[in-house]
Chain A
Amino acid sequence: MIMSELFDTRGVKDDAEHWDALAERVAREAARRSRHATVGSLAASRAGLIAASLLLAASLAFMTMTWRQGSRRPAPELGQALAPSDDVGRAIAVTGGPPAIAALLFAEPRRVEGQP
């Protein structure tokens, strides 16, 4: 691209101190504007908005799931206190699953007060 009109440069100061000062200012300002533009374009672009929305949705979903799991599962102390007295019921209440069949077969029968 060649412009049809070109001007002289007599208005431009041409000493080392001027260039040093200008370079320092330009470099600092360019870095600042560039960072600002990157953040701004991320916020303004459609892709940036979609990414932010997805991140927000994922965070909300994660928080909801952990909250639900926490409300479903009672504290271990409470589980022990409320567990039924028989082995099967206790195993289910405390460990969250049925006891092993072998444990049921070979376990000693629990004595109940008042019965032989």
Chain B
Amino acid sequence: MNDEASSDAELLAAASRGDGAAFGVLVRRYIRAATLLAAQLIGDADDAEDIVQDAFTVVHREARAFDASRPFGPWLFGIVRRLASNRRVREARRSRLLRLWGRHPDASGSSLRGDEGIVARIDAEAAIRAFAGLPPMQRACFELVATRGLSASEVAAMHGIAESTVRQHVFRARAALRAALGEDTRYD
């Protein structure tokens, strides 16, 4: 089997029969999108990789049960979202307990702080402020499409929303950023 040209369903079927190379190709095909999604949901790159690891473990274990008539991507991203949600619930509980014990230094968790290389520039600072001020889903879609180069359909599958919604989020985010940075948006 030519692994690179095979469909996701073919690769998964081969993986369920013990074909490690086919599973490797499938993982390589989706790992970037899955990790970026997990990072958006969790806010930490290392935790995101842990979640992706767990997600692909579930995929490998459940490969036989996968319905080949359905697309693989949304299934994988659904697993990533569920695992991320579980982890956030656990983390929130843990952080609540630590706060109660008075040992938690900061529970805000935003990964936007502390990027010295960028905030040194005033323009970049303003951009970051504007970016941080966007609604969460606008920010997430804009980042994946505009700075990570993913397509709207990929982002739609990742976040489980319609492709048109992704495009709308990106459009609004772009307009809001331009407005915040003082650019003319009349011709967008």
Residues of A within 8 A of B73 (CB): none
Known: A26-B56, A33-B57. A6 touches B44 (CB 8 A): no
Alpha-carbon gap, A10 to B35, bound state (A): 12
C-beta contact mask, A9-51 vs B, less than 8 Å → 1, else 0?
1111110000110111011111101100110000000000000
State which of B49, B60, B110, B112 has its C-beta within 8 Å of the C-beta of A31.
Answer: B60
Q: In the complex, are the beta carbons of B57 and A34 less than 8 A apart? A: yes
Number of A interface residues in the complex (CB < 8 A)? 29
Q: In the complex, are the beta carbons of A29 and B53 less than 8 A apart? A: yes
Q: In the complex, are the beta carbons of A22 and B45 less than 8 A apart? A: no
Q: In the complex, are the beta carbons of A8 and B160 less than 8 A apart? A: no
Q: In the complex, are the beta carbons of B53 and A30 less than 8 A apart? A: yes
Q: How large is the interface on B (under 10, 10 to 19, 20 to 34, 35 or more residues)?
A: 35 or more
B24 within 8 A of A: yes
Residues of A within 8 A of B174 (CB): none
Alpha-carbon gap, A37 to B24, bound state (A): 19
State which of A2, A14, A31 has its C-beta within 8 Å of the C-beta of B137.
Answer: A2
Contact surface of B with A, Cβ cutoff 8 Å: 20, 23-24, 27-28, 31-32, 35-36, 39-45, 48-49, 52-53, 56-57, 59-61, 81-82, 84-85, 88, 109-112, 115, 131, 136-137, 139-140, 143-144, 148, 159-161
Q: In the complex, are the beta carbons of B53 and A12 less than 8 A apart? A: no
A5 within 8 A of B: yes
A1 within 8 A of B: yes
The 7 closest A-B pairs by CB, nearest first: A7-B43, A11-B45, A23-B28, A34-B60, A6-B136, A6-B140, A30-B56
Alpha-carbon gap, A39 to B131, bound state (A): 48
Given contacts A7-B111, A8-B40, A23-B27, 19 further A-B contacts (CB under 8 A): A1-B85, A2-B159, A3-B136, A5-B43, A7-B44, A7-B110, A9-B39, A9-B40, A12-B45, A19-B31, A20-B28, A26-B27, A26-B31, A27-B56, A30-B57, A31-B23, A33-B57, A34-B57, A34-B60
